[in-house]
Amino acid sequence: MESKQTKKAYLKRLKGVLYFFLSLFLSLLGIRAYFEIHKYSDSEAYLSLGFKGVSGALLFSWAS
């Protein structure tokens, strides 16, 4: 019984960490697009995606 609960907790933590790094990557992509505003015509969309990634990373790290 305890091993199943430990395994579930480990998988939940791993999922949270994976979501955190994915969100961090998306946020860095958005920030990079913001600074290269003349290259990308839709940099506001990338920046919005980056801020959503940061908020998602905070939410998932808080939840796990």
Nearest Cα neighbor of 57 from 28, 6, 31, 19 is: 19
User: Which pTM was predicted?
Assistant: 0.47
Question: How many domains, in total, are found in the chain?
Answer: 1
Query: How much is the pLDDT for 48?
Result: 66
Query: pLDDT (tens digit, 9 = 90+) per residue, 32-59?
Result: 766 666 555 555 666 666 666 666 666 6
Nearest Cα neighbor of 34 from 54, 14, 16, 17 is: 54
Residues of the domain holding 33: 2-63
How far apart, in whole angstroms, are the C-alpha atoms of residue 14 and residue 8? Answer: 10
The encoded tokens of residue 43 equal 């940099």
- Could you tell me if 2 and 46 are in contact, meaning their C-beta atoms sit under 8 angstroms apart? no
Query: How much is the pLDDT for 39?
Result: 58
